[in-house]
Each structure stands twice: as structure tokens, then as C-alpha cells.
A and B are shown apart, each in its own frame.
Chain A
Amino acid sequence: MTSLTDMSLLEAAASLRSGDTTSLALTEACLKRIHQLDPALHAFLALASDQALEQAQAADAGLQKWRRDRSQELPLVYGIPLAIKDVLCLQDVPTTCGSRILEGFLPPYTATSVARLLSAGAVVLGKTNTDEFAMGSSTENSAYGPTHNPWDIGRVPGGSSGGSAAAVAAGLCFAALGTDTGGSIRQPAAFCGVTGLKTSYGRVSRYGLIAYGSSLDTVGALARSAAELAPLFTVMAGHDELDSTSLTDPVPEVDFGTVTLKGVRIGVPEEYFIEGVQLEVEAAVRLAVQVMSELGATIVPTSLPHTDLALPVYYLIAPAEASANLARYDAVRFGPRIEADDLWDQYLQTRGQLFGSEVKRRIMLGTYALSAGYYDAYYGQAQKVRTLIKADFDQAFESVDLIACPVAPTTAFRIGEHGDDPLSMYLEDVFTLPANLAGVPGISFPVGFDSKGLPIGMQLMAPPLGEARLLQSAHAYQQVTDWHTRRPALS
């Protein structure tokens, strides 16, 4: 018997409409699978079972009504069980950002991205694991322990949206929300063999997203294929009065009906095929580009000359913004408190003891980069080089529609492999950081496996607001390949 959780989101949506299954059955199947598999994977930090079952029952009532009167179309996410990265607030469900400093925090409101999905009838199963405050590339920086990669539980799922990527890969939910500040959706999607969409900066409201690097943070989603991501994207995207940095541009429906790559110019930047890239990764990505060319795309060499500067720029700007954003954790309004004799000591001890090692490192780095005497040399200079990086993309997109490259230099690494060397971990992000600095959208999808049986991801980037083209292009590739249909062997 094929299990309900083997269905794609679109198959599940069709079954809900035909009455072959119910949202309650889907939700119970996901919860059961979570109870079976998650003790080994640790993709979830909190389950919202009671709320999820209520949402499912409400969806089933709505579906029954819809079958009597079909004048109004239901959103494709209607009745579909999803998971939410634990940096997005969901009212009354513990939200920790993978940190001790938010242990026990119950948000008084729900993030707009999540609220829009709930209004569209989606079911939220729970909160997924993340590197503490989304700072990391492996989910090992979660204060609650790492998530394990479903393809090899000795390896990391990537990060920081590693819990969401692992949950989707293991079939614990039909799709999941993630966030991407420097690659945190695309890299775990690659490591776990799923499809992940990083939206344009400003495309999806960040109201209720707990801030990390405010000029870089984006909300997006992970699913098993591009076609399954589109329904989440169209519901979440669009202006929100509660986030003045959300764009007012209209959000198009993503049409998969006449998908072709004919006439699409795909640029392949030489700067992304450098020494240190695993040979199997390079080969798989080049082969996928070949497949896209056979589908009608024109492949042209392109150049993003400042690519090698993205890493130092990111690791000054993001920590600087983080050091300001994380000043709010003062144990006054929320979070646990280390009691001290005066307020001063309370700040020092609470923050010193309850922030994890990587978070403290980035706060220190950011504070240094912003401090008197160093501001111009570090933060100021990084902001200027950021202008050059963005200009690289503006220029490249004058002659190409999409940019194709690897997502990460390697496939999933072993838990503990990067040990105490933060710089070697930061290098994992070298191909994903530029999109955040430039504010452009990107999609990551599986294009093969290495000799160890680990998934390999490819990234496509588009000009701002180009999400529809990214989804359509990845879909075109997925129509003629089956990498995205492979599932890890789990029991």
C-alpha cells in the first residue's frame, strides 16, 4: 500500500477535492510518520498536533461545502499539512529560533507568511529545527541538537533551514517554510535532495520573522518539486501593511501549462566553477545545464567578477545587523532570565550564558565591525563592495535571463566535520551569499547524486521578482528528469 505521505502536494490536493482522502487523514498520516521517524532525524522542535487536527477538521468541513458548491476555487494548499521553520512566529506555539534565550517563548501573534497560508486553509504541523537564530550552514548550531540528513543520518541536512529540508525529504510534511539570509533555504534543499525557493528581497512579508540580518533576510519554501512550491509562493508573496519593506508589486500566478525553455538565455558564471568544488557536483551541474539546453535554452558564458568578495562582505554585514537585532534579548520582556543583583549583570549573564557559541561569535564580529574606529574600514567598506556585487548581477542580467551554478561546493558533510573552524564552515555558503547581497531570487533543485549516494543541487538565479520564471524553469527540468522523485530509504 502506498502511504498518504508518498503523494505529492498536488496529488494530495486532487485527492482532497475528489474526496478520496481527507485533510484529517493526511494530517494524521504526517503526525504518525513524524512519531516514527523524527526521533532519529530531529527535524522538529515542536509539534502543534492539537491545532493541526483542528485546522484539518475545519478544512474537511470546507471541502465538503465546496463539493456542493464549486463556484469558488480553493487554494491548492487547502487542507495540506505543512511545517514551519522555528524562526517564524506561530501564535501560542513555542518559538525558540533554536536558542536557549527564547526557551518557552509563546508568540502573541502569527507571522504574516504563516497567517496567509493558514487563511488559505493550510494545516501547520509544527516548528522545524534551525541553527540558532538561523546562523549556520548545518543545523548543528541549534541549542536543541542537530537535525540528521535523511539520506545519511551521520551527515548534516545543511542549514539553517535543515529541519524543514529534512522534514520534506523524509515525507514528514508536504512542504515547509524556510528562511534564507545567506543560503539557508537553497543549501539544505541541495543537501537533502529537495527543491527550495529563496524569494526576492522584499517579496514575502517578514512580519513575525525573528530578525537576523535585516537587509538580507527572506522567507521562502521547500518542497519536493518546483510545481509544489508555486502554491505556497503565490499565497505568501505580496505587500503587507505590517512590513514596510515588503514590495507592492503584483504577484503573478505561476503558469506551468506551456512551460518551455525556448528562448531562455542561461548564463553560466565561470567564478562558480572553482577549485574546491567537488568534481561530481561540477559534473552534475554541467550535465543539468546541458539538459536545459536540450529543452531549448541558450547557454552563454557570463561573469560575476566580484563573486570571491561576497563571503567577506556577507560575514561583516550580516553579523553587524545581527549584533543590532539581537540586542533585544535582554531578559526583560521575554525569554528566561539569569537572576542577578542588578540589571547590568542580568544582561551580561543572561546573554553570555544563553546565547550559543556561533551567535556570540557573530555578535562579537558585528559589534567590532560597527565600533568606533573600525566602522569605515569594515562595515562601510563591505557596504561599498556590496554595491559592486549587486552591479555584477545587474550587468549579467542585461544579457541573460537566468544564472545557473552549483548551490554548494560539496554534498552533505559529516556532523562535526567542521568542528571548531568557523571560517571553513562559512565557506560552505560561498555560492549562495551573492543572491542575498544582490536581493535576487534563487531556486535550488536536485540534479544528481554523488558516489556516496548523496543528493547534488543546482541553483538558478533570476532578476528581482523573477520567481515565476525560476519555478517554471526548474519545473521544465523536472518534467524530463526524475532526481526529485528519489526518496531516501527510511524505516
Chain B
Amino acid sequence: MAISLEEVRHIAFLARLELTPEEQELYAKQLSAILEYAARLTEVDTDQIPPTASVLPLKAPLRRDVVRPSLPHALILRNAPATERGMFRVPPVLE
């Protein structure tokens, strides 16, 4: 199935990716080809088949609920592009 430029822009918006017009064209073409290839999956009868989200058995091992030290505050902040008073600083969200 073919993906339109309109759809590419919508997906890019959902994924928070700014794409150039050339990228939009390229991805429209390439995603269409990949999805066309994937269309063979729709021919498989899966009415009675449950989905597999993980191959692990559905039981997570439990650990003791004890308080443990976290990573030091300064170590966590050191990779941030901007910080202020021990917090991550970002541009305005609301005017």
C-alpha cells in the first residue's frame, strides 16, 4: 500500500521528527515499499492465534522492597544540555 506525503507528515509529527521535503519524499517511497512487502502477513490466517509480546513466561521475579541509595544527583545532571538550581532547564512550554 502506498503512503502519501500527507501521511508521512502526520507520522513525523506524531514521532516528533522534523523532516526536510526531500526526506518526506524519500520516506513516502521507502515506507510504501516496506509496507508492501509486509502486506504478505495479512494473508496469514491468525484468527485463533494469540499475539506474542514477549517470549518470557509471564512471571516477573520479585526482589525485596528495600530502600537503596540512588545515583548521585550531580552525576545525573552532568549530561544535561542546560540545568538550573539542580533541575533540567527547558525552553518555555506555555506562553
Q: Which residues on A are within 8 Å of B, measured CB to CB?
A: 104-106, 108-109, 201-202, 215, 239, 241, 244-245, 247-248, 309, 311-313, 315-316, 323, 327, 330-337, 339-343, 345-349, 351-353, 355, 357, 360-361, 363-365, 367-368, 371, 377-378, 380-388, 390, 420, 422-423, 426, 438-439, 464
Interface set, chain B 1-58, CB cutoff 8 A to A: 3, 7-8, 11-12, 14-19, 23, 26-27, 30-31, 33-35, 37-38, 40-42, 44, 46, 49-56
Q: Does B67 contact A (CB under 8 A)?
A: no
A sample of 10 cross-chain residue pairs with beta-carbon separation below 8 angstroms, ordered by A number, consists of A106-B78, A245-B56, A245-B60, A309-B41, A332-B90, A333-B76, A345-B91, A346-B91, A352-B19, A361-B27
Q: Apart from A346-B90, A352-B17, A352-B19, what are 14 other A-B pairs with CB-CB below 8 Å?
A: A108-B79, A245-B60, A330-B16, A332-B81, A332-B90, A333-B79, A334-B80, A343-B90, A355-B17, A363-B15, A364-B27, A384-B52, A390-B55, A439-B56
On whether the beta carbons of B60 and A244 are closer than 8 Å, the reply is yes
Considering only CB atoms and an 8 Å cut-off, how many residues of chain B contact the other chain?
A: 51
Q: How far is the CA of A202 from the CA of B72 in the complex (A)?
A: 29
Contact A367/B82 with A346-B90, A380-B51, A384-B46 known, Cβ cut-off 8 Å? no
- In the A-B complex, the 7 residue pairs with the smallest Cβ-Cβ separation, listed nearest first, are A352-B18, A439-B55, A383-B51, A334-B79, A337-B81, A384-B46, A348-B18
Q: Which chain B residues lie closer than 8 Å to A361 at the CB level?
A: 27, 30-31
Contact A384/B49 with A239-B61, A368-B3 known, Cβ cut-off 8 Å? yes
Q: Which chain A residues lie closer than 8 Å to B52 at the CB level?
A: 383-384, 386-387, 390
Query: Per a CB cutoff under 8 Å, which of A309, A336, A385 touches B81?
Result: A336
Q: How far is the CA of A244 from the CA of B46 in the complex (A)?
A: 30
Q: Which residues on B are within 8 Å of A, measured CB to CB?
A: 3, 7-8, 11-12, 14-19, 23, 26-27, 30-31, 33-35, 37-38, 40-42, 44, 46, 49-56, 60-61, 63, 71-72, 75-76, 78-82, 88, 90-93
On whether the beta carbons of B56 and A201 are closer than 8 Å, the reply is yes
On whether the beta carbons of A315 and B17 are closer than 8 Å, the reply is no
Nearest-neighbor residue (CB-CB) of A248 within chain B: B61
Q: How far is the CA of A323 from the CA of B54 in the complex (A)?
A: 17
On whether the beta carbons of A315 and B41 are closer than 8 Å, the reply is no
